[in-house]
Amino acid sequence: MTETRNENNKTVTVLGIGKAGTKIAEILSTFPEAEWIKVAAADTDSSVIEASTLKNMFPVGIEWTHGMGCGGEVIKGERAFAHFSKKQIETFFEGSSLLIIVGGLGGGTATGGASVLARIAKKMKIPAVFIVTTPFSFEGHSKRMISEHGIKALVQDADVVLPIPNDILYSTLKSDTPADDAFKKANSEIARAIVGVAEIIRGKNLLSADFSDLKSALNKRKSFCGIGLGSASSADGPNRCITACERLLESPLLGGVDKIRNADVLFITVCGGQDMNIGEMKQALEVIHRHCTEKTKMIVGASNDPAYGDLMQITLLAIYYDLTVEKQSAGTFGPNMPKEYPLEIVGSDKPPVQGDLPLMQVSKGIFTNTSKNIISGQDLDIPTFQRMGIHIDKGK
Amino acid sequence: MFGAKSIITAVEMGTSKICVLMGRLDEKGNINIIGHGEKNSDGAIIKGEISNMEKTTDLLFDTIHAAENSSGESLDVENTYVAVTGSHVRGSIGTGSVVVTGEERKITPENIDEVTRTAAHIPMPSEYTVLNSIFGNYLLDGIRRTQNPENQVANRLEVSSFTISGNKNCVETYRIPLREFGCENPEPVFSGLATAICVITDDEMKHGVLLVDIGAGTTEYMMFHESCGCSCGVIPVGCDHIANDLAIGLDLNVAYCRKMLNENIAHANKLQGIDHILLEGTMEKRKIPINSLDKIIELRLSELFKFIHGHLENEKVLKFINRGIVVTGGGSLLQETKGIANSVFDCLVRTGLPPNLSGAVSNLKSPRYSMITGLIAAGESIKRLKMNSKEGPIRRIDRVFQRTWNKLRRSAKDAFPF
């Protein structure tokens, strides 16, 4: 097991778990700019372990699962990591400044293993970022539920959880894109995003973005994440910065430019070689700034490393809070119902009396079968007075 | 092809009406309207989006036919302009800068062309296309401001731009019905910009003004400062939403609610001291309190203005509204609109009307026609630009456009002071 440390003795460890995580870790290990990152993968399936090109590959719970994987059972994944490989993993994590765990939720190994790893990281007091993909909607309700529960469990112990819905791929890629290409591109983008996240802990930052910034921005809230990635070198034309920005906006895992506008937090890292100049950094950040609103919290980091050569890479994590969780916990029902319902009856001289129960039937009238009209989480086709819970006197 | 006498055709495919105007700008800068055709959209267009293409094409055929009949001229397929709207439309501010080379560092038309192109080049996703670009004042050596930098001496020439872009597919959907009439490449113009050409004065545009065009299905807003755009957008809410709210809230028919709004029945009753609207039908007899109507309208309009306020606040341009707000479109005819805009933004509000029109058609002096008359002026300036430009089909609106605009604004200012 080799350890590569950077100048400030800060080690970033990336661990891919499950089949999807292993693939991403493999791609990451091929990047020259990721040489300073310690990359490994762990799986319960011996066929994946044998096929892997990674130097550090952990078979977890092989004796127990007989190398056949978890078969989608979360409890098996959890036990494999917790009982059979805990010490091995702890040794591997030792001395790390940041852990990045990557995997695809919905199966057994990653969903079960992630929460165990979160607890290990918490115990070892190492900050951990979990970049996890959630299943496509066509994979069925049960897989979605498994991943939902997985995230819920993970949020409790992990510092940062960045769930990326696989469905986001549809929003930018054409439907005739070969499936193989789509997945390869998605995996490669996640691998590149890992480099972007890893750069925050690095000592060579030109613009510093602290890990605590990201941690406090997420603040244990359930969220979703889109990854935008653009890289360009001098060979791509005279203005590599603009080219990189254009590629970022078209990034398949970002899900369109609207995702930037609607994001609650934008985490941006700009990385390049020694020739990256301040004008390019400014230009890149200005382009992104143009697409977001004032309410968006922006965390910006920039660093340079000769390993990038003449390549310039902009990584963007667009994070949105899952508001449905907060709404459910607040006990509300119906679209944006106020917590207190007014007693006012408009248009009447009578003293205010208790109105109908808040179970007011919302209706869209002539807009019933038209395209959705949602701004700031509100369906504007529903009359304003209904959304505000105001009762109208219809007359006699 | 682009002769001075050629006729501009402006096409509006709106939620309430499909309207075609044929006209041109005369030597004095007045809009000369020679043909007008109009049909009720009848549900073919909902919230500014074409929902029934076949019906839209049929209605457009009738409308163009009516416009051709009233003008006695046929449609000039090379000079047709179509208004584009929808929540996909957005604006971006850009800047361009070039180093002036050459022996005497004198600014040439080529320098101006280059700087405007650089300013208009905004990185955007592949599914977006540029609709229009407008440019502010030029800056020489980072210090001197000028409207026309040609032949001036400087080391560096800069300009700020405002580029309006829209989703390619959505823009294309507006152009497809016109192809049926042999009009292969109708020029799209953002409807908010077209309206601004007609109703915003020179002084307002320089010092900062907000234009709000409340249509039947959508509301476009556009903000100007320093003679250039600085924010724009479309909120998919219009008068149809108010009619729908009334229909749901008061258990009425939508058509009757539209009639109530168009005829301002509530206001007329209020003036007579009646506090209700008497509903007499075969099924029921009911007295609807006018307060109920007022409340529904107020809630919807104030929400709409608050959305615009929020957007401008996010884009940090709210402070530029120095000359107040200009409301136009069918929604500006409602009694409550100006008061609500005033209470949300706390500034002067006036209604924007089309400027003095000449020509055979004269019944267009209503805020409902601000956009379509502005589209004629926009078309005229794009046409002139095309004649003078070697640069191909980039849809930009610049100095020629602004000269036309200045003339129009002057007449508008005289006609409609605050």
Higher-confidence residue of A253 and B149: namely B149
Higher-confidence residue of B251 and A294: namely B251
Give the residue from B166, B185, B214 where a domain finishes.
B166
A-chain residues near B51 (CB < 8 A): 370
B-chain residues near A394 (CB < 8 A): 249-251, 286, 288, 292
State the average pLDDT over residues A278-298.
80
Q: Answer yes or no: do B123 and A249 touch at CB < 8 A.
A: yes
- C-alpha closest to that of B302 among B331, B337, B267, B330: B337
Angle at A261 between CA A255 and CA A267, to 5 degrees: 80
Q: Is B117 on the interface with A (CB under 8 A)?
A: no
Determine the straight-line distance between the first and last CA of chain A, rounded to whole angstroms.
83
Q: Answer yes or no: do A293 and B314 touch at CB < 8 A.
A: yes
Q: Is A373 on the interface with B (CB under 8 A)?
A: yes
Domain ranges, ordered by start, for chain A: 1-166, 341-396
Q: Which residue of B has its CA nearest to A363?
A: B248
pLDDT, tens only, B193-212: 999 988 998 889 889 999 99
Give CA–CA dist B400/B390, Å, rounded.
Answer: 15
Could you tell me if residue B238 is inside a domain?
A: no
Could you tell me if residue B145 is inside a domain?
A: yes
In this prediction, residue A5 has a pLDDT band, given cuts at 50, 70 and 90, of very low
Structural contact between residues A18 and A65, judged by C-beta atoms closer than 8 angstroms: no
How far A294 CA sits from the closest chain B CA (Å)?
A: 5
Give the residue from B166, B181, B198 where a domain finishes.
B166
What are the backbone dihedrals phi and psi of residue B352, each rounded to the nearest 5 degrees, phi first? Answer: -95, 125
Could you tell me if residue B255 is inside a domain?
A: yes
Q: Answer yes or no: do B289 and A383 touch at CB < 8 A.
A: no
Among A249, A363, A371, the residue with its CB nearest the CB of B125 is: A249
Q: What is the ipTM of this complex?
A: 0.84
What is the helix (H) or strand (E) element at residue B296, kind and residue range?
Answer: helix B290-314
Per-residue pLDDT of chain B (418 residues; tens, 9 = 90+): 344 457 899 999 999 999 999 988 777 767 788 899 999 998 889 888 888 899 999 999 999 999 999 888 888 888 899 999 988 998 988 888 999 987 788 898 888 888 988 888 888 888 889 999 888 889 999 888 888 898 899 999 999 899 999 999 999 999 999 988 888 889 999 999 999 988 998 889 889 999 999 999 999 999 999 888 999 999 999 999 999 999 998 888 888 898 888 888 888 888 888 888 887 765 667 888 888 888 999 999 999 999 999 999 988 899 999 999 999 999 999 988 999 999 999 999 999 998 877 776 667 888 999 999 999 988 888 877 766 654 433 344 444 454 455 445 444 443 333 3
Strand partners, A165: A134
Could you tell me if residue B154 is inside a domain?
A: yes
Could you tell me if residue B101 is inside a domain?
A: yes
Structural contact between residues A169 and A253, judged by C-beta atoms closer than 8 angstroms: yes
Q: Answer yes or no: do B313 and A294 touch at CB < 8 A.
A: yes
C-beta atoms surrounding B23 within 10 Å: 31
Q: What is the pLDDT of residue A51?
A: 81
Q: What is the pLDDT of residue B194?
A: 93
What architecture (CATH level 2) is domain A1-166?
3-Layer(aba) Sandwich (3.40)
Using the predicted structure, report yes or no on whether residue A360 has a pLDDT greater than 90: no
Give the residue from B255, B289, B323 where a domain finishes.
B289
Could you tell me if residue B172 is inside a domain?
A: no
Could you tell me if residue B309 is inside a domain?
A: no
Give CA–CA dist A356/A363, Å, rounded.
Answer: 16
Q: Answer yes or no: do A366 and B247 touch at CB < 8 A.
A: yes
Burial of B108 (0-12, 13-18, 19+ CB in 10 A): middle
Its domain, for residue B150, covers 90-166
Q: Is B307 on the interface with A (CB under 8 A)?
A: yes
Q: Which residue of B has its CA nearest to A366?
A: B244
Q: What is the pLDDT of residue B223?
A: 94
Give CA–CA dist A44/B335, Å, rounded.
Answer: 71
Could you tell me if residue B118 is inside a domain?
A: yes
Q: What is the pLDDT of residue A238?
A: 74
Q: What is the pLDDT of residue B226?
A: 87
Q: What is the pLDDT of residue B412?
A: 44
Q: Answer yes or no: do B237 and A390 touch at CB < 8 A.
A: no
Q: What is the pLDDT of residue A78?
A: 81
Q: Which residue of B has its CA nearest to A172?
A: B127
Structure token pair of residue B20: 């075609």
Higher-confidence residue of A340 and A158: namely A158
Secondary structure of residue A394 in the 3-state scheme: coil
Structural contact between residues B358 and B319, judged by C-beta atoms closer than 8 angstroms: no
Secondary structure of residue B77 in the 3-state scheme: helix
Number of domains chain B contains: 2
Give CA–CA dist B190/B164, Å, rounded.
Answer: 7
- Write the CATH number for B162: 3.30.1490.110
Give CA–CA dist B237/B299, Å, rounded.
Answer: 13
Positive or negative torsion for Cα A84, A87, A92, A93: positive
pLDDT, tens only, A57-113: 888 877 767 777 777 778 788 887 877 667 778 888 888 888 889 998 888 888 888
- C-alpha closest to that of A119 among A77, A74, A80, A157: A157
Structural contact between residues B257 and B247, judged by C-beta atoms closer than 8 angstroms: yes
The residues near A266 (Cβ < 8 Å, ≥ 6 apart) are A260, A288, A292, A296, A297, A298, A299, A316, A317, A318, A319
Given the DSSP bridges, would you call strands A128-134 and A98-104 parallel, antiparallel or unpaired? parallel
Structure token pair of residue A363: 């209706």
Structural contact between residues A60 and A84, judged by C-beta atoms closer than 8 angstroms: yes
Among B92, B250, B254, the residue with its CB nearest the CB of A366 is: B254
